[in-house]
Amino acid sequence: MTATATHEFAERDHEVMSGNGCWPRRPKSATTELVGYGAGVMLPQQRTEASTARKRFRIVLIKPSHYDDDGYVIRWFRSPMPANSLASVYGLIDDCAQRQILGPDIDIEITAIDETNTRVRVDRIIADLRANDNFGFVGLVGVQSNQYPRSLHIAKPLRDAGIAVIVGGFHVSGMLAMFPNVMADLQQALDMGVTLFAGEAEGRMDEVLRDAAAGSLKPLYNYIDDLPALEDAVTPFLPGNSVRKTIGNVTTFDAGRGCPFQCSFCTIINVQGRKSRRRSPDDVERILRKNYEHGIDRFFITDDNFARNKDWEPIFDRIIKLREQDGMDVRFLIQVDTLCHKIPNFVAKAKRAGITRIFIGLENINPDNLLAAKKRQNKITEYRNMLLAWKAAGIWTYAGYILGFPNDTPESARRDIEIIKKEMPLDVLEFFFLTPLPGSEDHKVLFNKGVPLDPDLNKYDLEHALTPHAHMSKAEWEKLYRDAWAIYYTGEHIETILRRAQTYGINILRLAQIILWFAQSLAIEKVHPLQGGFVRLKNRHERRPELPVEPVWTFYPQLAGEFAIKHARVAAAAWSIFRIWRHVAKSANVPYTDQAMTPVTEDETQRFELFTHNKSAREAVVHARKIKLLTGGADQSPLVPAQAGIK
Q: How confident is the model at residue 53 (pLDDT cuts 50, 70, 90)?
A: low
Q: How confident is the model at residue 633 (pLDDT cuts 50, 70, 90)?
A: low
For 413, the enclosing helix (H) or strand (E) is helix 410-423
pLDDT in tens, 402-455: 999 999 999 999 999 999 999 999 999 999 999 999 999 999 999 999 999 999
Alpha-carbon distances of 137 from 155, 237, 485, rounded to whole Å: 11, 20, 43
Q: How many helices (H) and strands (E) does the chain have?
A: 23, 16
Comparing 638 with 340, the larger pLDDT belongs to 340
Compute the distance between CA of residue 183 and CA of residue 178 in angstroms, rounded to an integer: 10
Q: Is the pLDDT of residue 12 over 60?
A: no
Helices of type H across 431-543: 441-449, 474-488, 491-503, 508-520
The amino acid sitting at 605 is T
Q: Is the pLDDT of residue 24 over 80?
A: no
pLDDT in tens, 562-587: 999 999 999 999 999 999 999 999 99
- Burial class, 586, CB count within 10 angstroms (exposed 0-12 / middle 13-18 / buried 19+): exposed
Compute the distance between CA of residue 600 and CA of residue 89 in angstroms, rounded to an integer: 46
435 Cα distance to chain centroid: 16
74-83, 221-230, 420-429, 620-629, range with the lowest pLDDT = 620-629
Q: What is the DSSP string of 276-314?
A: -EE--HHHHHHHHHHHHTTT--EEEE--TTGGG-TTHHH
Comparing 116 with 22, the larger pLDDT belongs to 116
Compute the distance between CA of residue 579 and CA of residue 122 in angstroms, rounded to an integer: 46
Indicate the DSSP class of residue 543: B
pLDDT exceeding 90 applies to what percent of the chain? 73
pLDDT of residue 232: 87
Indicate the DSSP class of residue 246: B
Indicate the DSSP class of residue 245: T
Q: Is the pLDDT of residue 6 over 50?
A: no
pLDDT in tens, 55-95: 999 999 999 999 999 999 999 999 988 888 999 999 999 99
pLDDT of residue 582: 97
Domains in the chain (CATH in brackets) are: 44-222 (3.40.50.2300), 602-644 (no CATH)
Query: Which residues partner with 400 through β-bridges?
Result: 430
For 196, the enclosing helix (H) or strand (E) is strand 195-198
pLDDT of residue 260: 85
Contact (CB, 8 A) for 363 and 426: no
Q: Which sign, positive or negative, has the C-alpha torsion 540, 545, 551, 557?
A: negative
pLDDT in tens, 166-205: 999 999 999 999 998 999 999 999 999 999 999 999 999 9
pLDDT of residue 1: 42
pTM of the complete model beyond 0.95: no
For 220, the enclosing helix (H) or strand (E) is strand 220-222
Contact (CB, 8 A) for 4 and 84: no
pLDDT of residue 237: 85
Compute the distance between CA of residue 494 and CA of residue 581 in angstroms, rounded to an integer: 9
Task: Describe the crossing of helices 474-488 and 410-423 by its angle, rounded to 10 degrees.
Answer: 20
pLDDT in tens, 324-382: 999 999 999 999 999 999 999 999 999 999 999 999 999 999 888 888 888 888 888 89
Contact (CB, 8 A) for 56 and 31: yes
pLDDT of residue 125: 97
Q: Which sign, positive or negative, has the C-alpha torsion 472, 473, 478, 482?
A: negative
Neighbours of 610 (CB within 10 A): 23
134-143, 248-257, 486-495, range with the lowest pLDDT = 248-257
Contact (CB, 8 A) for 591 and 642: no
Neighbours of 551 (CB within 10 A): 9
At residue 642, what are phi and psi to the nearest 5 degrees? -60, -35
Compute the distance between CA of residue 319 and CA of residue 315 in angstroms, rounded to an integer: 6
Q: Which sign, positive or negative, has the C-alpha torsion 515, 516, 518, 520?
A: positive
Strand duo 75-78 + 534-537: pairing: antiparallel
Alpha-carbon distances of 242 from 81, 86, 109, 150, rounded to whole Å: 10, 10, 16, 21
Q: How confident is the model at residue 32 (pLDDT cuts 50, 70, 90)?
A: very low
Alpha-carbon distances of 156 from 137, 138, 152, 285, rounded to whole Å: 13, 12, 6, 41
Q: Is the pLDDT of residue 637 over 50?
A: no
Average pLDDT over residues 321-325: 97
